[in-house]
Copies of this chain bind each other. A is one copy, B any other.
Amino acid sequence: MTLEEYLPFWKQLTSAQQNLLGQAASMRTAKAGEPIHRGSEDCVGLLIVVKGRLRAYTVSDEGRELTLYRLLERDLCLFSASCMFQSIQFDVMVEAEVETRMIHIPASIYRQVMQQSAAAANYTNELLASHFSDVMWLMDQVLFKRMDSRLAAFLLEESGLEQSENLKITHETIARHLGSAREVVTRMLKYFQEEGLVTLSRGTVSIRDEKGLRDVARESLR
C-alpha cells in the first residue's frame, strides 16, 4: 500500500504528516453488497478504492433509494468521513457493489492533516466540489430529464462497468439506482423490449440495440 500513489498532495506534506497518515492507514476488504457506511450515525473514515466499486446513495423517509455516484478504482470516498465537516447535514449511505479492496484512513487523522496542510485542504475542496458537481448533474436529470432517457443511460453505464451486454440486475435494483418505483421501471423496460432495444428474461436485461439506446439516452449521457 503506497499512499503516495493515491493522495496527490503527498509530496507537499511534512514527514511528520506523512508518518501520521502512513501509520493510521490500513487495508480493508468488503464483500459484494456489504454496507460500508450508514449516514451520520457512523463515521468510518476516508476510503480510497484500490480494486472494486462502491456506491454512494441516499434513502428517503419512505425508504426509496437514489444512487448519487459510484466510486471506482483510485476514487476517494469523502462521505464515509462526513463527520469531518460540521456543515454536512445529510445522510449518505455507502455500500460495496462488488468485492472491494480499499485503503482506510480514520476521519480524525485525515482531519488533523487537513487542518494543518493547505495542500490537503485544497485537494479535499476539489473532491467535495467534484461530488457536488455529480449531484447537481443528477438533480438536473431527476428534475428535467425524461425517465426513458435516464433508464437508457443507466443501462449503458451499467453495461460499461460490467463489461457485458447481459446485465444481471432486477427491476427493483434499477429503480433503487434511479430513485423510481419498480412498476415504472418495469413498464419502461417492456416498452424498450417492444422497441427492440433490450430483451428481458428472469433477472437479466440484455442490450440488443446499443445505438438505439444511445439515441434515447442522448440527453442523459455525461
A residues near B (Cβ < 8 Å) are 58, 60-62, 64, 66, 85-90, 114-118, 120-122, 124-133, 135-140, 142-144, 179, 219
Which of B58, B87, B125, B137 is the one whose CB lies under 8 Å from A133? B87
Q: Are A133 and B89 in contact (CB under 8 A)?
A: yes
Copies of this chain in its oligomeric complex: 2
What is the bound-complex CA distance between A113 and B10, given in angstroms? 20
Q: For residue A88, which residue of chain B has the nearest CB?
A: B129
| Least CB distance, A90 to chain B, in whole angstroms | 4
What is the bound-complex CA distance between A201 and B26, given in angstroms? 65
Chain B residues closer than 8 Å to A114, beta-carbon distance: 118, 122, 125
Q: Are B66 and A126 in contact (CB under 8 A)?
A: no
What is the bound-complex CA distance between A60 and B219, given in angstroms? 12
What is the bound-complex CA distance between A64 and B144, given in angstroms? 8
Q: Are B61 and A133 in contact (CB under 8 A)?
A: no
Q: Are B117 and A58 in contact (CB under 8 A)?
A: no
Given A118-B114, A135-B132, A142-B143: A125 in contact with B85 (beta carbons within 8 A):
yes
Q: Are B122 and A90 in contact (CB under 8 A)?
A: no
What is the bound-complex CA distance between A113 and B104, given in angstroms? 31
Q: Are B126 and A129 in contact (CB under 8 A)?
A: no
Q: Are B117 and A87 in contact (CB under 8 A)?
A: no
What is the bound-complex CA distance between A219 and B61, given in angstroms? 10
What is the bound-complex CA distance between A41 and B155, given in angstroms? 33
Chain B residues closer than 8 Å to A127, beta-carbon distance: 87
Given A58-B136, A133-B87, A144-B62: A125 in contact with B128 (beta carbons within 8 A):
yes
Which of B60, B87, B124, B131 is the one whose CB lies under 8 Å from A130? B87
| Least CB distance, A146 to chain B, in whole angstroms | 11
13 residue pairs of the A-B complex, CB under 8 angstroms, read: A58-B136, A64-B143, A87-B129, A88-B129, A88-B133, A90-B133, A115-B118, A117-B118, A118-B118, A118-B121, A121-B125, A128-B132, A132-B132
